[in-house]
Structure 1
Amino acid sequence: MKVGIIGCGSITKFRHAPEYYENPYVTDIVFYDRNPERSQALAELFEGQVANSIEDLLEDDSIVAISDCSSNESHHVFSTQALLSGKHVLTEKPIALSVEEAEKIIDAQKQSGKLLMVDHNQRFTRAHQKAKELIASGELGSVLTFKTNFGHGGPESWGVNKSNSTWFFKKDRSGYGVVADLGIHKLDLMHYLLDDQITQVSAFQGALDKVDENGNPIEVPDNIVCNLRTAGGRLGTASFSWTYYGEEDNSSTLYCEKGIMKIYHDDEHQLEVLTHDGERVRYELEAIQTNDNQTNTGVIDSFVDSVRGEEDLVVTGQDALDSLKVVVALIESAKSGYVKDVF
């Protein structure tokens, strides 16, 4: 299978390209970036080819699937074009910067009949999959409340230019700051684990510490704290941050009728269950991937298997749109000071 990648930044270099390169069904990778030196560098690193234009990439009939790793504001353009060019598409999150743009991509998917998957990679970790299995088993009863966090020191050390001029700090390119970068992962995860939909939110946000290349506060929030209500009546809280300077926090806690489930609170035991009668069960599964600890996410392998017809998509365009709607509602709530309905 020959694949293409649009955008040759860090997400391509450290995740998409190496995972395609290691997949036994992928024979070749074609790279495109508006900065030709970036695509050339990755083509050399991963023994691939370079497309000189987006048209060359999309018009290549030998390319079966494409990863859209462009910055957020371009997803609705490139993913739509790729689908309508007859390619299966894996796009980075968020699927788009607006509901209307996301719906444009989903409409293109329906029109083309090709697959559309979005890189919400937290669904693939062994701890989260085990947690979903335990919830489905009913061992702990129903989940009543939950809290989830995702924070690290910020994207300026992750991006290609390794500076605070990063596009993540620009409103026209990243859209919603930390909530679209980190928060959307955990919102999607809660939908996945609970098999439920967040329908009402309130939030506070702020640019508390990050500054741009000119020393001015960034245009998007570097922190947001949230209250969440689901269609099933569950209540939750969430905190997403680019200012956790000591260590990354990617943890969740689910409070159930018969106990508590703690996920990624402990480096050695990534899942811990505490029952109402005092039993403590610890699971040693796998460390979660971080910017400093790059491991195989499972996303590319799953996408390739779906293209091959071996499995159903784990994350659909509709899943991604549902999470984007929560992000939009959170930003609206934080700006207005009012509780917002997602639907």
Structure 2
Amino acid sequence: MGLKVGIIGCGSIAKLRHAPEYKANPFVDEIVFYDRNLDRAEALAAMFDGTVAKSVDQLLADPTVQLISDCSSNENHYIFSAKALLQGKHVLCEKPISLTIDHAKEILDAQKESGKKLMVAHNQRFTWAHRKAKEIIGSEELGKVLTFRTTFGHAGPEQWGINKSNSTWFFQKERSGLGVAGDLGIHKVDLLHYLLDDEIEQVSAFQGVLDKVNENGELIEVCDNIACSLKTKKGRIGTASFSWTYYGEEDNSTIIYCEKGILKIYHSDLYQLEVITRDGEKVQYQLESIQTNDSQTNSGVIDAFIECVRLDQSPLVTGNDAIAALKVVLGLIEAAETNRVVTISSE
């Protein structure tokens, strides 16, 4: 008997990632869709041969639904994910886990109380290039990590959102909360924690609304660019830039500088991972193409979530991992707003 999955929120992330990956997974029998806009739920149910729930409560009360993907907008995650866990469902929550630490902790408390699995969809950990890079860094064949730089930028969520317009919720402060820092930045913060086996401890940043306007032609309420300086607990220092205004080409590259060489990740069109040693030797890996907004490949997130539920394993991205990344992003925004260096709380 296969698994029955519920998806809350039927926007682009559900349509392009969650639903097709559940549909392709051999252990999933049925998907139930809920969206406050019934037409959207019905459209996805038709597309993926699923059914529709008329309310969140109806979906969560269904004892045959074992797994929930929370693909709602950011401000609702703590409501839906916590409720689903307390109703005995395993939950995959989209990132960021929440907009505040207190709300994120409500989800973690619900997970502890329920004993069910909670995974957060920080999908950068799942790419082959990042997994290989972590293996190389961990082996210390290039010596210790000294410094790093990373970026994540594309032409903006209005190109990706379900209605392909400037009215996207990503531009609204009460729903998006954290702008490009919470949309793209949080992914790379989590990735740095994963790759370096370390946590960012101090940050400074500049942010701005450089170009994006809403449907009324006014500058949006959240940052469309943020440039950051980062220091980790183990003393590595590096930089990060996140942008919704990389017009022409997406950039999701990371460079790690070690004692004996350099790791370049998604820096070359041909090779997803390049190792350049101190004496100039190059090792180049063709592993896969990364998911971009224009090129949707299997992220591996859904398969990993189902695997951890089926085999009773710890999720690859835990609630605590997600809170650690959220703390850094909130620290970056505070640093940018106050023009000072912010130390990230470890509590």
Q: CA deviation at 1:10?
A: 0.4
User: Is 2:253 aligned against 1:247?
Assistant: no
SS at match of 1:57: helix
Cα distance in 2 for partners of 1:213, 1:44 equals 30
Gaps (5+ residues) in structure 2? none
Cα distance in 2 for partners of 1:41, 1:94 equals 26
User: Is 2:217 aligned against 1:238?
Assistant: no
Cα distance in 1 for partners of 2:103, 2:4 equals 28
User: Is 2:31 aligned against 1:29?
Assistant: yes
Does the C-alpha gap of structure 1 residues 84 and 310 become closer, same or farther in structure 2, counting only changes over 3 Å? Answer: closer
Aligned to 2:63: 61
Task: Give deviations 1:144-200, integer Å, cap 9, x for gaps.
Answer: 100000000000011111100100000000001000000000000000000000010
Aligned to 1:338: 340
Aligned to 1:74: 76
Task: Give deviations 1:5-60, integer Å, cap 9, x for gaps.
Answer: 00000000000000000000000000000000000000010000100111110000
Superposed CA RMSD in Å reads 0.6
Q: CA deviation at 1:310?
A: 5.7
SS at match of 1:27: strand
User: Percent of aligned pairs with the same residue?
Assistant: 66
Aligned to 1:156: 158
Cα distance in 1 for partners of 2:116, 2:270 equals 40
TM-score using structure 1 length: 0.99
Q: CA deviation at 1:312?
A: 2.8
Which of 202, 207, 210 does residue 209 from structure 2 map onto? 207
Which of 101, 104, 108 does residue 102 from structure 1 map onto? 104
Cα distance in 2 for partners of 1:228, 1:247 equals 25
Q: Which amino acid aligns with 1:335?
A: E
Cα distance in 2 for partners of 1:57, 1:272 equals 46
Aligned to 2:171: 169
Which of 314, 317, 326 does residue 316 from structure 2 map onto? 314
SS at match of 2:66: strand
Q: CA deviation at 1:246?
A: 1.6
Give the total of aligned pairs. 343
Q: Is 1:302–1:311's contact at 8 Å kept on the other side of the alignment? A: no
Q: Is 1:203–1:224's contact at 8 Å kept on the other side of the alignment? A: yes
Aligned to 1:180: 182
Cα distance in 1 for partners of 2:314, 2:192 equals 20
TM-score using structure 2 length: 0.98
Cα distance in 1 for partners of 2:116, 2:37 equals 28
Gaps (5+ residues) in structure 1? none
Q: CA deviation at 1:268?
A: 1.2
Q: CA deviation at 1:311?
A: 3.9
Aligned to 2:120: 118
Does the C-alpha gap of structure 1 residues 91 and 184 become closer, same or farther in structure 2, counting only changes over 3 Å? Answer: same
Cα distance in 1 for partners of 2:22, 2:211 equals 37
Superposition pairs of residues 122-137 of structure 1, within 5 angstroms: 122-137=124-139
Aligned to 1:83: 85
Cα distance in 2 for partners of 1:249, 1:54 equals 36
Q: Is 1:4–1:57's contact at 8 Å kept on the other side of the alignment? A: yes
Superposition pairs of residues 289-308 of structure 1, within 5 angstroms: 289-308=291-310
Cα distance in 1 for partners of 2:282, 2:161 equals 40
Aligned to 1:256: 258
SS at match of 1:150: strand
Cα distance in 2 for partners of 1:172, 1:144 equals 38
Q: CA deviation at 1:84?
A: 0.3
SS at match of 1:11: helix
Cα distance in 2 for partners of 1:163, 1:113 equals 40
Cα distance in 1 for partners of 2:44, 2:31 equals 10
Aligned to 1:229: 231
Moved more, 266-275 or 303-312: 303-312
Cα distance in 1 for partners of 2:159, 2:136 equals 36
Cα distance in 2 for partners of 1:74, 1:319 equals 19
Superposition pairs of residues 30-45 of structure 1, within 5 angstroms: 30-45=32-47
Which of 121, 142, 145 does residue 147 from structure 2 map onto? 145
Q: Is 1:333–1:339's contact at 8 Å kept on the other side of the alignment? A: yes
